[in-house]
Structure 1
Amino acid sequence: MVLSIVDESNSTVIAGGQMGRGRQKAKQQKIARKLKYLTTDTDYDELAKELSEQEPGMGSPDPFADIDDQYADKDVDSAADDHASGAAEAAPATQEDDLDEYAKWAAEAAAKATSGEFPASAPAAPKPAPRKPIPMPMPSALKPKKS
């Protein structure tokens, strides 16, 4: 539980501990967005635009965009495209092989299931024996006296 105390200068002091500036700013933004957008006339395009914005100095949302631009080479890109198109032609053939292998396996499994090779059901587990009750110690004052 966090208690807020307001002193003479009208500044709020949090008794549970100070919040870091980053967390405080994030919390303020969250509250401001709730107040701004959780109404019946919410502008979702504006919300998406605001959420996609970066802080100043953070750079591009894609961390590798700068590196890609720096090392971009037209010849390498065209060679990579040629290689990718060759791989795309080979992919359907391997996919068909995988499907053929799966179909073969599925047919064998179905044949085994219908031929009775697999047991119909597992044998029932034996019922555990009932356990004896744990003896409870009785204080000597409560024991019946032998006369």
Structure 2
Amino acid sequence: MGRGPGITTHPSRPAPTEIPRRRNPASVRSPHTRRGIGPAGRGRLTGTEAEILIDEQYLPGLFRIEEKNHLFVLCWFDRADRTLLRATPPHNPVEHGVFATRSPNRPNPISLSLVDVIDIQGGRIRVRGLDALDATPVLDIKPFSPEIDCPD
């Protein structure tokens, strides 16, 4: 099925401008509860510890995750301002477009943190370096693989 020159869709898939309803398989438990107090894009540098709490229905997705030392955690910054397109990073006084920053304020406030796994107990993954506030929804967890994820 076509939707104009160069755009092809499948009847059962959403059109390119539609975003499917997201599922949040987990949430964050963090000592940081308010914006402006916390890692602010520097979770890995601060050594902040947090927990990722996996919802029961997604526990089978953790099979063999204990083999991983590092994970990518994608979160939805639900308290972000989605209208801002420019930001001034805390470590650089020059204004940038949000796509040139790690600001949580962006059209789709998805965060990406590379975390160290400290411990896994059932549906609780204790990590170091997560850049997220308490109760932040977790969109996905993916293993870090040096062979794939490190640039040449």
Q: TM-score scaled by structure 2?
A: 0.15
Q: Which has the higher strand share?
A: 2
More relative contact order, 1 or 2 (CA 8 Å, 6+ apart): 2
Q: Which has the higher helix share?
A: 1
